[in-house]
Structure 1
């Protein structure tokens, strides 16, 4: 019974490992945590027990079983999340790298326990005490990493500005996994030769410390880059607000001048009416009305949304694109205003670019924004287009370069990040984007 338990204990570290992998992405779960735990924990326990029994039956090490088991666990992990494969895969490999270093330390601990014992050279698994030590260290690391993984790492996962880094981050943990596998001695007695055991312990500890240091540095760099990107976004929206302010000031000045001249207009119209010159009256009214500002001065009470809508409505007017906005937003909303402005900016910029390539008589942009049940933000943007919209694997392709459209992908990621939804359709020359944004927990409580 003891021999059967030993490979099972080696494999049960998968459970704390997967718990650690879920900490940075727990807000992206496809189902509530308690429902996920009901079927996932028994599934993992079944994997570990069946894998251990297989190792015992075939008299093999746990490595071949792990080679087949870990990809299956990784597939289950990814399918339970609403994140890209790059993020879920990188996080999963990062946890595997840490536990690979702990495995090396446990191998050294096992060598210390069995020192002086007359054991067979082909000892396949850790001793029972070492298996408990292995699981204990993994649980301790899970407890120690709980806060940084659920806060600092979670912030990095949430921020879409750092998305490109996930394409290369997986290389670092993969290197450390390979180094730990390379360190495993072919024969058990090798660890008792000279000072190899002491060196093995030191190297295992150094690798673990270096790996944790690299992760910490990566998080610091990521947070710094995210803050800079956030500041750039805020500066961009401030520039939109400034442009909106200039447009409003110009329109207000025109309106003030028109009111000032209104008395003179009445005097002139009275004189023309006394002479019965109807044509002159019509000509004068046409000239006077052209001087009255026709642009909307105000779209909604929310300053952030009003600034973005005002900027793009002025831009649409310069391009002779009819712009209609129906908005009903209060001054304060639970949804993150930066996310809302990013969604609006991307959608309206794409709409204006598509309208510029459309026949003038068909151009139009319709925007509708309102709150549903006081916390769900619903955004709908419609615009006409000429030509063909390219899609690949249900993803819209860019019309300006080769590859996916960045604006729509960014909008989709923001919606998914907040637990909302997005829908993009094109029919009869009209492109329609429907977005639902949910408030974050922090904003929802304010």
Structure 2
């Protein structure tokens, strides 16, 4: 049985090597945890105890040190993938980013220990090592936390599409291979001997500094991409509002014309009434009633903004010879941002309209089904399309209105993600199906 002070030394090292890393890894996804924060905290504490136990086994059972270190790493990674509900690429990127810095902290701590406590530096897990690690972490992890909070978290909370993170994790993986090869690729020295040489710590510092510059640029580019998407959505919303305004202006002009024409109709009906020509009056009233527009056909739901948008596209579909069917039940007081609804409906219906216009079939149809309750909003927009939709290597549909991926589809996916919902786009060779569910 090792002395208590040795158990304490190994335990403190295990916590310093694990807990700060775990806190930083969970912070960017604190709103996307699979469990409640309280349950997650309890699980982290349990895993901390396990890490201490594994550290004891590795420190006092040298034959299994390598295996126990691998088990410790696997447990850490498995818990992280289980605890966080985000794109796999984001979690891998985050783990590699922080693991690279954790390796640098361990190596620089051993180097500092060699300078301050040369007699203890050749021993494993001594209090001097933990002290040096604490000092290095205080110096590095504080700015690292601000980077994670101010730059990295905004970049990973949302993104225009999910495909970026399928490849971005290769960046920290590449830097890991670079510093690993730089230190161990052409050297026969042990890891302890390499760590005690200041030149290796200096080299690793510059590699990590360059890596962080790249991480910073990548995060900023993603944030800028999000801003461009938001700007596109706002421009699209303004376009939708302009279209609605034009539609309302047409209706106002139509109402004025009807009011003006009504005077002539009333004058004629009064003349027929004076002459007692009741049969002609009845016939004229019937024809006049049939000539009046059916306003009820243009009111699609109780939400006036969505109804006006649906009515505008109904006119567009009618002008293009497209059958337009709407079943909508959306209340006026729906718990969703009207800006998001306008962008969502506008993009979905506009895409369907362009799909039908490009379609070569004789019968063209757009069918819209939308229903909202206190908890969710479900939208399905289906349109006929007998062409061949273009997709990229990831299966994402590419716009036929312009080069590149359809920005409208990305906007829809972004809004769905904002409300923790889903957006699906499918094609069966005859119909194009777009469906969205928002948690409101």
| 1:60–1:307 CA distance, 2 compared to 1 (3 A) | farther
The answer to whether residue 46 in structure 2 is matched with residue 45 in structure 1 is no
The TM-score normalised by the length of structure 1 is 0.73
Aligned pairs (5 A) from 1:272-351? 274=277, 276=279, 281=284, 284-285=287-288, 288-289=291-292, 296=298, 303=305, 305=306, 308-319=309-320, 320-324=322-326, 325-330=328-333, 335-349=336-350
The answer to whether residue 79 in structure 2 is matched with residue 76 in structure 1 is yes
Partners of 2:233 and 2:68 lie apart in 1 by: 48
Q: Is the 8 A contact 1:93 1:173 kept in 2?
A: yes
Q: Is the 8 A contact 1:8 1:48 kept in 2?
A: yes
Q: Is the 8 A contact 2:100 2:176 kept in 1?
A: yes
Partner of 1:435: 437
| 1:8–1:352 CA distance, 2 compared to 1 (3 A) | farther
Q: What residue ranges of structure 2 are gaps of 5+ in the alignment?
A: none
Partners of 2:132 and 2:24 lie apart in 1 by: 18
The answer to whether residue 206 in structure 2 is matched with residue 206 in structure 1 is yes
Instruction: Report the alpha carbon displacement of residue 156 of structure 1 after superposing the two structures with TM.
Output: 1.6
Aligned pairs (5 A) from 1:167-182? 167-181=166-180, 182=182
Partner of 1:22: 26
Instruction: Report the alpha carbon displacement of residue 239 of structure 1 after superposing the two structures with TM.
Output: 0.9
Partner of 1:155: 154
| C-alpha distance after superposition, 1:60-103 (max 9, x if no partner) | 655x6444543443232222222111122212222112222222
Match 2:99 to one of 96, 102, 112: 96
| 1:30–1:408 CA distance, 2 compared to 1 (3 A) | farther
Q: 1:28 aligns to what SS in structure 2?
A: coil
Once structures 1 and 2 are overlaid, which stretch shifts more, 96-105 or 69-78?
69-78
Once structures 1 and 2 are overlaid, which stretch shifts more, 264-273 or 210-219?
264-273
Q: Is the 8 A contact 1:86 1:166 kept in 2?
A: yes
Partners of 2:112 and 2:104 lie apart in 1 by: 13
Partners of 2:409 and 2:224 lie apart in 1 by: 26
Q: 1:435 aligns to what SS in structure 2?
A: strand
Instruction: Report the alpha carbon displacement of residue 430 of structure 1 after superposing the two structures with TM.
Output: 11
Match 1:365 to one of 364, 367, 370: 367
Q: What residue ranges of structure 1 are gaps of 5+ in the alignment?
A: 439-446
Partner of 1:223: 223
Partner of 1:266: 266
Partners of 1:201 and 1:399 lie apart in 2 by: 48
The TM-score normalised by the length of structure 2 is 0.74
Q: 1:243 aligns to what SS in structure 2?
A: helix
Once structures 1 and 2 are overlaid, which stretch shifts more, 128-137 or 23-32?
128-137
| C-alpha distance after superposition, 1:33-58 (max 9, x if no partner) | 00121223202431452255146424
Aligned pairs (5 A) from 1:381-400? 381=380, 383=382
Q: 1:328 aligns to what SS in structure 2?
A: coil
Q: 2:155 aligns to what SS in structure 1?
A: helix
| 1:354–1:68 CA distance, 2 compared to 1 (3 A) | farther
Q: Is the 8 A contact 1:322 1:364 kept in 2?
A: yes
The answer to whether residue 115 in structure 2 is matched with residue 112 in structure 1 is yes
Q: 1:378 aligns to what SS in structure 2?
A: strand
Instruction: Report the alpha carbon displacement of residue 433 of structure 1 after superposing the two structures with TM.
Output: 4.0
Instruction: Report the alpha carbon displacement of residue 170 of structure 1 after superposing the two structures with TM.
Output: 1.5
| 1:321–1:208 CA distance, 2 compared to 1 (3 A) | same
| 1:56–1:308 CA distance, 2 compared to 1 (3 A) | farther
Partners of 1:316 and 1:288 lie apart in 2 by: 22
Q: 2:437 aligns to what SS in structure 1?
A: strand
Alignment coverage as a number of residue pairs:
416
